[in-house]
Copies of this chain bind each other. A is one copy, B any other.
């Protein structure tokens, strides 16, 4: 796969340094096709490679249990930066930085940003090395650029699927956000967590576009889900089983709060929350998802019942308001 840096030399050096004999490769869905090629490199370095074939959507999903179960002495996790503080198995993160140039897409964004002066700049881990160049182009166009640093992420300006603390930390100072990267996923997260005008500079399509209409569509669906959940009598509260998604304390809080409001609530532990999962519990009217908030937001049309984030549940239970939630974001960070 061209266009990404898989840091093959660093991987070989780490294997030698650790004397690793068995290595687990974990790649997100888009990079999994590279698994066999990378496995061959590892095998040539003298270690047995095992490719994790289960879905992987983030560093929250780090395969430490799988590694321990397979007697693995090194995990190589691709495509995300470190999230879980202490892995029980030695782990290296290969962030798979993209080599695609971003200048043309940034230039394309300038007409869209014409009515804004203060621009917040953000990107996914793949394009972090382009942030300085992006800033320079914006500054040359007369913009004031701020790159947020909440201290929660591996890098300033970085956003992940569920953590927008870097953009939230500067949202009060900004008039608009520019996200550098492909697809809608991260840019939607910025728009939903800041409620600010948000634009995408997509280096793959070499074009720029606004994302707020898409964000509005999601908000309408979320409002409908919250309304439906207000009438629910029985709640299922999902507890995530992936290392970076397990929030049992918060699930217990949600359960207690539901019961305070006269509802029944059941804890459901899950690795994956799918439309099929919900069909197995016909007596449950609505769900609260304390695992990955993006499952609630991005897949809502696929679910037969409302699947709320914790913040959305606070609105449905009357503990918070829709407006307050929009200010604070649809999910935690």
Which A residues have a C-beta under 8 Å from some C-beta of B? 24, 29, 32-33, 35-37, 39-40, 48-55, 63, 65-66, 69-71, 234, 236, 238-239, 241, 246, 248, 264, 266-273, 276-277, 280-284
Q: List 18 A-B contacts (CB under 8 A).
A: A35-B280, A36-B264, A36-B283, A36-B284, A39-B266, A40-B264, A48-B267, A50-B239, A50-B267, A52-B268, A54-B269, A54-B272, A69-B246, A70-B239, A70-B241, A70-B246, A71-B248, A271-B271
Closest to A31 in B: B280
Q: Could you tell me if B234 and A53 are in contact, using CB atoms closer than 8 angstroms?
A: no
Find the residue from A69, A280, A282 having the highest chain B CB count within 10 A: A280
A116 to chain B, nearest CB (A): 40
Contact of A281 among B33, B241, B268 (CB under 8 A): B33
A33-B283, A281-B35, A281-B36 are known contacts. Are A69 and B241 too (CB-CB below 8 A)? yes
Count of this chain's copies in the oligomeric assembly: 2
List the B side residues contacting A282 at CB < 8 Å.
33
B residues in contact with A283, CB < 8 Å: 33, 36-37
The reply to whether B70 and A266 contact each other, CB–CB distance below 8 Å, is: no
Interface centre among A264, A269, A281 (most CB of B within 10 A): A269
Does more than half of chain A's interface fall in helix, strand or loop, or is it mixed? Answer: mixed
CA distance A24 to B270 in the complex (A): 12
Whole-angstrom distance from the CB of A265 to the nearest CB of chain B? 10
Query: Is the pair B69, A268 in contact by a Cβ cutoff of 8 Å?
Result: no
CB atoms of A50 and B269 under 8 A apart = yes
A89 to chain B, nearest CB (A): 13
- Cβ-closest chain B residue relative to A234: B36
A280 touches B70 (CB 8 A): no
Knowing A66-B269, A241-B69 touch, does A280 contact B53 (C-beta < 8 A)? yes
Residues of B near A246 (CB, < 8 A) are: 69-70
Residues on the B chain within 8 Å of A39, using CB: 266-267
What CA separation (Å) do A268 and B50 show in the bound complex?
A: 6
Closest to A35 in B: B281
Judge whether B248 and A53 touch: CB under 8 Å: no
A269 to chain B: which residues have CB within 8 Å?
24, 50-54, 63, 66, 70
